[in-house]
Structure formats: structure tokens, C-alpha cells
Amino acid sequence: MRDRHRIELRWRDGRTETVHGTEDESVLDAAERAGVGLPFGCRTGACATCTGRMIEGEIEHARPPRGLKREFEQGGYVLLCIARARTDCRIEVGSDVQTDLVTNPWK
């Protein structure tokens, strides 16, 4: 059993939930184990439905986050279906985090 880390999930409406995740499981899996629902799609890092934004702490993606453009990755966005906590974390979650990344390109 690798280290367990405290992961605080924050929605933009002010709701927060704290779950605990090991270094071998994704943040999404840790949340589901605790009965906390987060948006997701492919669960392989290709679709970005599960996008979150790091406020504090560190995660490591278990495989390349193909659904996340490089500039977003550098901006602190992470894919929770393949993100594993490496320290205690505070992460912004909810479907509107993903919508940050896709605006109308013609407006």
C-alpha cells in the first residue's frame, strides 16, 4: 500500500468534498470509492470530460493526457481519470472546469 493523500475537491458553487487516494489509483477512482460523483467519459485520458484544475499539491498522470492540450497542462489543468495524487491536493472540479478550455473560437 503506497502513501495515501488527502484530496480536497472544490466545485465553483462552493461545495467541497475531501477524499483519500493512494498513489496507485486515479483521483476519479478515489472519489468514486468515497461515493463522490465527478464528470468523466473515456477513463483513458483521451476525452477531457474529467478535467480538473490544480489549486495546490501535485499529481502525476499515469499515461499521457492525450485529451489535454499542452498549454492547458501547463496551466494546471489535469485529467482526473488518469491523475494520481503525489501529495495532499486541492483540486477544482465540476463540469464548468472543462468548459473553460473550449470557448466559441469565432466570437
Partner 1 sequence: MSDTESSESEAHEQHEHHDVEGPGYATPQAAIEQAEREQIAYVPSLYVGTDVDAPDFLSVVDINPDSNTYCEVIDRVEMPNKGDELHHFGWNACSSSCHVEGLERRHLVVPGQRSSRLHIIDTKDRESPEIVKVIEPEEVYEYDLSAPHTVHCIPDGEILVSMLGNKDGDLPGGFLELNDDFEIEGRWDPPGEIEMNYDFWYQPRHNVMVSSEWAAPKTYYPGFGLDDVEAGNYGHKLHVWDWTDRTVEQTLDLGEEGMIPLEVRFLHSPEAVHGYVGAALSSNVFHFYEREKEWFAEKVIDVEPREHEDWDMPVPGLITDLLVSMDDRYLFFSNWLHGDVRMYDVSDPANPRLADQLWAGGLFGPRHPTGEDDRPVIAGPQMLQLSIDGERLYWTTSLFSTWDNQFYPEEAERGSVMLKADVNPRKGTMTLDEDFLVDFGEMPNGPARAHEIRWPDGDCTSDVWQ
**Contacts with partner 1, residue ranges (CB under 8 A):** 11, 37, 39-49, 51, 66-69, 94-95, 98-99, 101-107
Rounded least distance, CB 36 to partner 1, Å: 9
What is the full DSSP assignment across 15-53?
-EEEEEEETTS-HHHHHHHTT-----SSSSSSS-TTEEE
Closest CA to 52 of 87, 86, 81: 81
* Integer Cα distance of 86 and 5 in angstroms: 7
* Integer Cα distance of 51 and 45 in angstroms: 9
Of residues 5 and 27, the one with the C-beta less far from partner 1: 27
Of residues 1 and 70, the one with the C-beta less far from partner 1: 70
Of residues 5 and 9, the one with the C-beta less far from partner 1: 9
Rounded least distance, CB 8 to partner 1, Å: 18
Rounded least distance, CB 90 to partner 1, Å: 19
